[in-house]
Amino acid sequence: MRLKLIPDDTKFDFFKASKIWLGISAFLIVLALVSVSIRGLNFGIDFRGGTTIRTESAQPVDIAGYRDAVAALDLGDVTITEIFDPTFRPDQNVAMIRIQAQDDTEAVSQDLINAVEGALQAAVPDIKFVSVESVGPKVSGELIKTAAIAVVLAIAAVLVYIWLRFEWQFAVGAVVALIHDVALTIGIFSEVGIRFDLAIIAALLTIVGYSLNDTVVVFDRVRENLRKYKQMPLKDVLNLSINETLSRTLMTSGTTLIALIALLVLGGDVIRGFVFAMTWGVIVGTYSSIFVASALLLRLGVKRDWTKSGPKNTGNKFADIDA
């Protein structure tokens, strides 16, 4: 006997409150944009330029003592943060020291790094310098521009792909869902204040691919059912298609979240930002595939004659997996 978490014959009406869900999504997007414009993002060294020094010591981190040690060097904006992680040993006290990019300097000099390390060594004799990362102001500016272009090009490529494979209505629904996912992910980073660096850009691009995969599976089943039920109202076709793929959607998202939550708890602070972005992205991506992309498709309408396009059973290889 097979265990079924989701019955085969679910008949949920996903469009009963579609206006409310779309309204909530629109509100959250506006809230995310307002948060980014007012609070900004906690850019890492990749995007701000400067130097990050990660330290370890057996003594508890004294942020005021660390700050006094480097104050005499007149380095400008210096941020010192103690890192907490359940995987650390009792005698493993970790701090992150961020030094702003120095004016007219393409790369922070080794002499400056040596001076900071020497000052900290004098204050905390057993301190160890685990890693040092430096990025010049010009390089960080180019990285911001390149990262933005990468995300925009990825979404544009999705628009073209869906348009060619389906119809423009499907493309608009899919792209709006992707913009929804990216905007909410950036917004939560602004609100929470988690460091935003190149790893997060990689997470955003991964979220785009994950959300697109979910959306395409649903759209493939919609197209198949439009051929099969030519007289059925579009709303009923969409509801039927989402219910038929619901098992696959929840199984995929659920198993992915299990792995991500394990990494979030046990993976350590180095990858925590990336894993947090992925976890949030899987949740909003699953939501948007059902409540945003399909709801927009219902409002835009779609052609009912698919007899001239696409092979049979396209894209449904994994749509009938039991959950």
Which pLDDT value is given to residue 142? 75
Q: Residue 61 has what DSSP assignment?
A: P
Q: Which residue has the higher pLDDT, 36 or 112?
A: 36
Q: Using one digit for the tens of pLDDT, what is the confidence trace for 245-278?
A: 888 888 888 889 999 998 888 877 678 888 999 9
Which pLDDT value is given to residue 323? 42
| Cα separations in angstroms, 247 against 163, 179, 222, 285 | 26, 25, 15, 16
Residue 220 CB neighbours (<10 A): 22
Query: Which residue ranges form the domains of the chain, and what is each CATH number?
Result: 18-43+140-300 (1.20.1640.10), 50-135 (3.30.70.3220)
Average pLDDT estimate for 160-169: 81
Residue 231 structure tokens: 């007289």
Which pLDDT value is given to residue 312? 47
Which pLDDT value is given to residue 273? 85
Specify the pTM: 0.73
Q: Which residue has the higher pLDDT, 32 or 141?
A: 32
Q: Are 171 and 162 in contact (CB under 8 A)?
A: yes
Which pLDDT value is given to residue 184? 92
Average pLDDT estimate for 213-222: 86
Q: Which residue has the higher pLDDT, 209 or 308?
A: 209
pLDDT bin (cut points 50, 70, 90) of residue 105 is low
Q: Which of 138-152, 197-211, 269-283, 299-313 has the lowest mean pLDDT?
A: 299-313
Q: Residue 196 pLDDT more than 70?
A: yes
Q: Are 50 and 101 in contact (CB under 8 A)?
A: yes
- To the nearest whole percent, how much of the chain has pLDDT over 70? 83
pLDDT bin (cut points 50, 70, 90) of residue 157 is confident
pLDDT bin (cut points 50, 70, 90) of residue 319 is very low
Q: Using one digit for the tens of pLDDT, what is the confidence trace for 11-54?
A: 888 888 888 888 999 999 999 999 999 988 887 766 777 778 88
Provide the CA 286 distance to its chain's centre, in angstroms. 13
d(CA 117, CA 108): 14
Closest CA to 201 of 136, 146, 243: 146
Order across the sheet with 78-83: list the strands.
78-83, 93-100, 50-57, 128-135
Average pLDDT estimate for 100-111: 62
